[in-house]
């Protein structure tokens, strides 16, 4: 690797001690460093195990140790000689503190595993697991040869009616309706031999569709008494810690979502790593609670009306559902896999990603970009990739470049590993552009659910529309689909010929924990630094419908009665009333385009208008509709709107219950209406006397 120690030293802190020899030769210097108490960064992940063990074995080692890959990400590339700014950026980011701890979700597994499948395949799997796990089989047919004669494991049979749960808490329900009781069956095969229709397989269950009721099997089983055709089906339940499903996914009635529950595995009979993973899942396990939910910000439901379902629809783990009773969504932390897609598409910021937080990601991206620019780097591209398959592709590409069979990661492309590529969205992307990134490229592989790609692309379309509306030419955000290192190499090299306009001055704001606050900071900077002069910009930038978190609403004044149902439904205080006058007011900056107002309006008078208004009026309240008040015909006090009362009178004028005095009372305020009713009753009593 062509390392320039002087350039790195100038780009990083002056007090840092740099060692740039082959890492194994620096073992002595490493041991001295870990005794100093200062943070130590090893800029190679190849020898991570060696140096971690060396740190544990060194006496008085007190320094925290971090590892960062600068080899495959930059040093092994055709552009390696130009990669010093990127390497400096990666080293600077490695010195940042670890994310703040977050609450955790705990799983407990005693190792009780349910194996579902044909009895022969299930018994083969059980033989590989039973030395460490407590195995129960659920037969789904005999398979090619049927089960062994020796009954080594508990076998259940019947029709599975439900299977739900997660690691340590899988609940199985099934209907035991087969005439053969597997607990009593001794596998003597007498019934198999006696059945004239061959309706009994070596899973010792009767195919009732093939059975012709000869009952020869019952006679053959008199000694064991395991066959009883008069037995009523019984629904049974059982709990398991783990599930190994040998059925084809198309034949599986449960867990068809893209992200399977933790502790549930599918097995094709060949993939041994799956069984090795399963064997290790005994004990107590923890994972971060990846999300934070603020119900007060949620635009999912108001007044028993459901509108925004962005998080529910995109969740590939089916961990999010609608809680109709509490008028909000609920997230099952045990099913959540931490993809963060829900936080990316949430328009209000009610759901936020917690590990790491957006503010921590913002610090990292700003550090990367500022260090890169400070070291002389130009046109920085952030390559966001997953820390599993995406990371593996980047490393495979680096090794291919070292072998001269690929170009490698370009010098201006800075890889950034994420827990999941769907965990960052519009607020952080636009912040990164404001910080100086020329392009945000999200590497997607076969890991991502289809709805993730749709959601990411929709958010990118909104961001790109905003940037182009402000005069930033080029393509600043894109998905890069790659399944192989060659795909990735081709995609990255294609970026070299593109140019994107960026802010003249990079931003220095801190990414906030509130999504809307961060979006406002990023937009303010991008507008201030926009290449297109204010006089040349449109009044508003039109945005794609369905994904935009910005916009206005238009109200049909002819049909709106100012009932203000929309005001009570609005979760962002964008729609407001006026306590002094019959008015419907609107603050566009607050609108999240959730659509609750549209679905709540009884007159269908509201239409969403996705856009970003660029004038100061975006932050000011404006009147969407108003009408004169309706004055009580008796005392003159205003008690409603002219349009609403007239509409009510028009609808009820022909009703038999509202004729004469009753119709006239509708024109009165509440106090006068009561007085008029009592006056009429008193007059009636006097006349009767």
Q: Can you tell me the mean pLDDT for 465-484?
A: 96
**Looking at residue 100, what DSSP letter applies?**
P
Region 541-626: CATH code: 3.30.70.3270
612 vs 463: CA distance, rounded Å: 11
Q: Can you tell me the mean pLDDT for 275-303?
A: 95
Task: Please give the pLDDT value at position 579.
Answer: 86
Angle at 309 between CA 306 and CA 310, to 5 degrees: 155
Mean confidence (pLDDT) of the chain? 92
Q: Can you tell me the mean pLDDT for 655-676?
A: 88
Task: Please give the pLDDT value at position 11.
Answer: 82
336 vs 289: CA distance, rounded Å: 8
Q: With 90 as the cut, is the pLDDT of residue 646 above it?
A: no
Sign for the pseudo-dihedral over CA of 683, 684, 685, 689:
positive
**Per-residue b/e over 122-137, b at no fewer than 16 CB within 10 Å?**
bbbbbeebeeebbbbb
Token representation of residue 564: 């203000």
Say which residues have a Cβ less than 8 Å from residue 1's Cβ, sequence separation at least 6. 70, 71, 75, 76, 80
Q: With 70 as the cut, is the pLDDT of residue 77 above it?
A: yes
Task: Please give the pLDDT value at position 686.
Answer: 66
Cis amide leading into 356 (omega within 30): yes
Give me the residue label for tokens 């049974």: 236
Domain segments of the chain as ranges: 1-67, 70-98+358-523, 109-285, 289-353, 541-626, 631-688
Q: Are strands 320-323 and 328-331 parallel, antiparallel or unpaired?
A: antiparallel
Third-level CATH fold of 109-285: FAD/NAD(P)-binding domain (3.50.50)
CB 154 within 8 A of CB 228: no
CB 549 within 8 A of CB 572: no
Q: With 80 as the cut, is the pLDDT of residue 520 above it?
A: yes
577 vs 627: CA distance, rounded Å: 12
43 vs 75: CA distance, rounded Å: 11
Q: With 60 as the cut, is the pLDDT of residue 689 above it?
A: no
Token representation of residue 111: 């190792």
The pLDDT tens digits for 198-233 are 999 899 999 998 999 999 999 999 989 999 999 888
24 vs 51: CA distance, rounded Å: 9
Say which residues have a Cβ less than 8 Å from residue 437's Cβ, sequence separation at least 6. 365, 369, 380, 381, 382, 502
Task: Please give the pLDDT value at position 15.
Answer: 67
Task: Please give the pLDDT value at position 628.
Answer: 84
Torsion of CA 492, 494, 496, 497, to 10 degrees: -170
570 vs 593: CA distance, rounded Å: 10
The larger pLDDT score, comparing residue 617 to residue 143, is at: 617
The pLDDT tens digits for 125-160 are 999 999 999 999 999 988 887 777 788 899 999 999
Token representation of residue 275: 């069984």
Say which residues have a Cβ less than 8 Å from residue 275's Cβ, sequence separation at least 6. 125, 128, 129, 244, 267
Q: Can you tell me the mean pLDDT for 331-359?
A: 96
439 vs 384: CA distance, rounded Å: 11
pLDDT band at 687 (very low <50, low <70, confident <90, very high): low
Distance of CA 527 to the CA centre of its chain: 29
pLDDT band at 86 (very low <50, low <70, confident <90, very high): very high
Task: Please give the pLDDT value at position 566.
Answer: 95
Token representation of residue 121: 């395949």
Find the length of the chain: 689
Element (H, E) at 114: strand 112-117
Work out the number of other CB atoms within 10 angstroms of the CB of residue 577. Answer: 15
Q: Can you tell me the mean pLDDT for 108-115?
A: 98
Angle at 304 between CA 302 and CA 306, to 5 degrees: 70
pLDDT band at 320 (very low <50, low <70, confident <90, very high): very high
- Can 289-353 and 541-626 be said to share one CATH topology? yes
Token representation of residue 151: 């009954």
592 vs 573: CA distance, rounded Å: 10
Token representation of residue 571: 């979760």
Q: Can you tell me the mean pLDDT for 71-100?
A: 93
Region 289-353: CATH code: 3.30.70.20
User: Of 476-485, 503-512, 648-657, which gets the smallest average pLDDT?
Assistant: 648-657
pLDDT band at 688 (very low <50, low <70, confident <90, very high): low
User: Of 153-157, 324-328, 543-547, which gets the smallest average pLDDT?
Assistant: 324-328
9 vs 1: CA distance, rounded Å: 17
274 vs 266: CA distance, rounded Å: 8
């Amino acid at each position: 690797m062509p390392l320039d120690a002087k350039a790195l030293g100038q780009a990083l802190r002056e007090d840092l001690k740099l060692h740039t020899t082959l890492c194994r030769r620096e073992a002595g210097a490493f041991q001295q460093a870990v005794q100093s108490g200062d943070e130590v960064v090893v800029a190679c992940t190849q020898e991570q195990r060696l140096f971690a063990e060396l740190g544990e074995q060194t006496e008085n080692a007190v320094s925290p140790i971090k590892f960062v890959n600068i080899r495959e990400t930059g040093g092994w590339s055709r552009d390696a000689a130009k990669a010093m700014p990127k390497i400096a950026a990666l080293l600077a980011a490695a010195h940042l503190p670890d994310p703040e701890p977050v609450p955790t979700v705990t799983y407990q597994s005693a190792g009780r595993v349910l194996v579902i499948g044909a009895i022969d395949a299930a018994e083969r799997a059980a033989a590989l697991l039973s030395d460490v796990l407590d195995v129960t089989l659920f037969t789904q047919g005999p398979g090619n040869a049927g089960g062994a004669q020796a009954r080594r494991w508990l076998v259940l049979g019947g029709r599975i009616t439900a299977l739900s749960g997660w690691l340590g808490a899988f609940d199985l329900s099934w209907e035991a309706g087969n005439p053969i009781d597997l607990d009593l069956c001794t596998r003597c095969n007498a019934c198999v031999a006696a059945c004239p229709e061959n309706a009994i397989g070596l899973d010792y269950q009767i195919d009732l569709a093939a059975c012709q009721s000869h009952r020869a099997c019952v006679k053959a089983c008199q000694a064991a008494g395991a066959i009883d055709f008069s037995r009523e089906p019984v629904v049974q339940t059982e709990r398991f810690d783990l599930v190994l499903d040998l059925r084809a996914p198309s034949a599986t009635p449960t867990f068809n979502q893209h992200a399977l529950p933790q502790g549930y595995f599918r097995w094709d009979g060949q993939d041994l790593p799956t069984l090795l993973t399963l064997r290790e899942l005994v004990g107590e396990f923890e994972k971060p609670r990846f999300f934070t939910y603020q119900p007060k910000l949620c635009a999912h439901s108001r007044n028993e009306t459901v509108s925004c379902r962005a998080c529910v629809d995109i969740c590939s783990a089916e961990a999010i559902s609608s809680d109709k009773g509490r008028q909000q969504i609920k997230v099952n932390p045990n099913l959540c896999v931490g993809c963060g897609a829900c936080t990316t598409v949430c328009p209000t910021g009610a759901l936020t990603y917690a590990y790491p937080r957006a503010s921590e990601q913002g610090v990292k991206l700003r550090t990367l970009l500022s260090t890169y620019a400070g070291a002389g780097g130009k046109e920085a591209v952030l390559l966001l990739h997953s820390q599993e398959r995406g990371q593996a592709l980047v490393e495979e590409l680096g090794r291919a470049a070292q072998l001269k069979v690929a170009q490698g990661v370009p010098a201006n492309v800075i890889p950034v590993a994420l827990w999941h590529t769907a965990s960052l969205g519009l607020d952080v992307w636009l912040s990164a552009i404001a910080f100086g990134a020329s392009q945000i490229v999200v590497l997607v592989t076969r890991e991502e659910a289809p709805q993730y790609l749709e959601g990411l692309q929709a958010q990118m379309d909104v961001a790109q529309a905003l940037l182009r509306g402000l005069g930033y030419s080029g393509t600043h955000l894109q998905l890069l689909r790659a399944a192989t290192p060659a795909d990735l190499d081709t995609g990255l090299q294609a970026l070299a010929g593109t140019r994107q306009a960026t802010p003249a001055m990079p931003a220095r704001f801190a990414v906030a924990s509130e999504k809307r606050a961060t979006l406002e900071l990023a937009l303010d900077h991008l507008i201030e630094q926009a290449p297109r002069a204010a006089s040349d910009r449109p009044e508003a930038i039109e945005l794609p419908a369905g994904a935009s978190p910005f916009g206005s609403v238009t109200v049909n004044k002819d049909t709106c009665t100012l009932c203000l149902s929309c005001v009570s439904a609005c979760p962002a205080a964008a729609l407001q009333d006026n306590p002094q006058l019959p008015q419907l007011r609107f603050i566009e900056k607050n609108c999240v385009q959730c659509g609750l107002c549209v679905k709540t309006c009884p007159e269908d008078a509201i239409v969403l208008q996705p856009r970003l208004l660029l004038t100061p009026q975006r932050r000011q309240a404006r009147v969407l509709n108003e009408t004169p008040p309706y004055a009580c015909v008796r005392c003159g006090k205003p008690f409603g709107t002219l349009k609403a009362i007239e509409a009510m009178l028009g609808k009820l004028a022909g009703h038999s219950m509202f004729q004469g005095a009753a119709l006239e009372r509708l024109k009165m305020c509440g106090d006068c209406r009561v007085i008029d009713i009592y006056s009429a009753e008193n007059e009636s009593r006097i006349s009767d006397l």
